[in-house]
Amino acid sequence: MAVCLSTDRPARSLTLSVGDRRQEGVRADSAGFHWQFLLEDLSPGTQYSLQVWEGDLPWGTSWLLKTFPAPGEAVSTFRLLTYTCAGGGDGFGLPGRQFFKPHAFRQTLFEAALAQQPDAAVAIGDHVYWDLRGEDIPQVGRRNRLVKFMVGGYLRIRYGAFDRDQDLIGTPNEEVLRRIGNEQIADLYGTRFRSVPMFFVADDHDYFENDDAEPDLVTFPADAFSRAAHRAMADLYYPPLLDTPSGKPDRSFGSIRYGDLFEAPLLDCAGQMTLGGDQAGLIPPEIEGWARERMAVSQAKVFALVPSHPPGYTAGKWREWYPDVVARAGNTGVVTNPLLGELEGQLSVEAEKFLWQRGWWLQHQRLLASLAQRSGLRFVLSGDIHAQGAVAIERSGENDFSSDPLVSVLVGPVSTSTGSWPSAARGVSAATPHWLEVETLAPMTESNGFAIAEISPGKAAIRLFDCGGHDPDLGESGMPLRGRVLNLLSPGMI
């Protein structure tokens, strides 16, 4: 069990009691506002009472948290909550354009999700939005010097600016990091999820960059500062993954295993992505090997792959599995798709996407082929693309899955508003990549929401909750407005 604690006042030392055991906390910052606790050898399938202590004095109230069943233990049901893109400043925007929903909207959405009583929750990427483009503050309005100057000045005054030549912890950078994380994570979540096991999967914005590739700037592979910023923010604000390829706590790759019922590798498709033509990958070769091995040997009755970037969908972004790019009809040249670039055209594979790597597609093919070879129920849950929907992939390039298609679900974003839907930020809505043939199970919608997967042996009812939020003027609160259900069965089940 890993517990991450952010406090409203500093402490010199804290301990955590779990049942009749006590564990000394590890301070994650300089001042004592942030603490990590790691406990081993707990009993499986057991509900514990947790309490934080400062010396002999309780710190806050106690709460309950239950460990997972032991791997291989017979389990009849598992309920998983998934969502994506919860980060961003509280209602941040520019005149006439809101980029992120207010916290009140997101928190209402969270409350509705928690009312479904999930056994665990997975936040799939983009827990923080603070894209630096290699600078010390976000370059909002970079194509308009006046907007850039005004927004840049506001961000400096309110949050401060990073010094990319200094460490993140133990320097003035730490206070900048805390101001961002306190708003986008601690104040947003509060203690709502403290009795629900949480799994945070990183994606591009968690490295303080959007995945941009333009002639004057390529933001990935992540540089040393971006990697350090991701690690520091994660250490301060959320727990690490524990069931990992290395056997040690990790911030990028791990898995969920729930008895004999369910297993899901969790894959960060940004932080360790590589260039290199056919040898490139969105995840490292050793992690790909680990994920494919788990697909082959896992005895779980239901298996899901959870990459931070979605198979089955494209929005013309650079760091995608697919070569689709937004281009005018007839364009066969090299095209860049800058974020908020007011692009014109449609998704095309006739034009060449600047710096796109064929190795990403080849890795996609290997992963999906390995997943398709599993017997029993298997599917994909993913986020990133600021939309909700589901498709059954029947063909992917030369891979034919038509006899037992692979279902890929976009779980739904939490904080997206007018300026950050794909149709606004990219010029097109998310769509089917040209190299795929799919059956639409749930039409893609640009709306905030979440997914609940109700899993039992050989079955999964995946409910998509649509909470709206496309237009702030509609006054939507974050409560679900409508829902769709996908009933997935293992082959041969009726």
Q: How far apart, in Å, are the Cα atoms of 366 and each of 307, 397, 421?
A: 14, 11, 30
The answer on 122 and 27 residing in a single domain is no
Q: Look up the CATH number of the domain holding residue 40.
A: 2.60.40
Residue 484 CB neighbours (<10 A):
18
Neighbours of 341 (CB within 10 A): 14
Residue 151 lies in a domain: no
Q: Does 143 have pLDDT greater than 80? A: no
| Pair of tokens at residue 142 | 């970079």
Are residues 32 and 63 part of one domain?
yes
Selection from 358, 330, 329 nearest residue 345 by Cα:
329
Instruction: Assign residue 467 the CATH number of its domain.
Output: 3.60.21.70
One domain, residues 7 and 91: no
Q: 392 and 485 in one domain?
A: yes
Element (H, E) at 58: strand 57-66
Note whether 177 and 59 are same-domain residues: no
Q: Identify whether residues 85 and 195 lie together within a single domain.
A: yes
Backbone angles phi, psi at 317, to 5 degrees: -70, 160
Same domain, 228 and 289: yes
**58 and 185 both lie in a single domain:** no
pTM (global) more than 0.95: yes
β-bridge mates for residue 437, sequence order = 395
Same domain, 313 and 388: yes
Closest CA to 324 of 367, 356, 297, 277: 356
Please report whether residue 149 resides in a domain: no
pLDDT confidence tier of residue 340, bands split at 50, 70 and 90: low
Q: Where is average pLDDT lowest: 148-152, 431-435, 442-446?
A: 148-152
Structure tokens at 478: 């974050």
Looking at the fold, whether 121 and 11 belong to one and the same domain comes out as no
Tally of domains within the chain: 2
Domain encompassing residue 285: 70-127+168-317+335-342+355-489
Tens-place pLDDT, residues 351-391: 999 999 999 999 999 999 999 999 999 999 999 999 999 99
Residue 323 lies in a domain: no
* Interstrand relation of 262-267 and 15-18 (parallel, antiparallel or unpaired): unpaired
Q: Which residue matches tokens 């006590």?
A: 22
The answer to whether position 201 is within a domain reads yes
Are the C-beta atoms of residues 381 and 464 closer than 8 Å to each other? Answer: no
Beta carbons within 10 angstroms of residue 323's beta carbon: 21
| 37 & 85 share domain | no
Q: Are residues 94 and 26 in the same domain?
A: no
Spell out a b/e string for 247-258, using b for 16 or more CB atoms within 10 Å of the CB, else e.
eeebbbbbbbbb
Model confidence band, residue 475 (pLDDT cutoffs 50, 70, 90): confident
Residue at which a domain ends, from 33, 52, 67:
67
| Assigned token pair, 169 | 């912890």
Give the tokens for residue 309: 């970037």
Model confidence over 45-66: pLDDT tens digits? 999 999 999 999 999 999 999 9
Per-residue confidence (pLDDT) for residue 494, from 0 to 100: 54
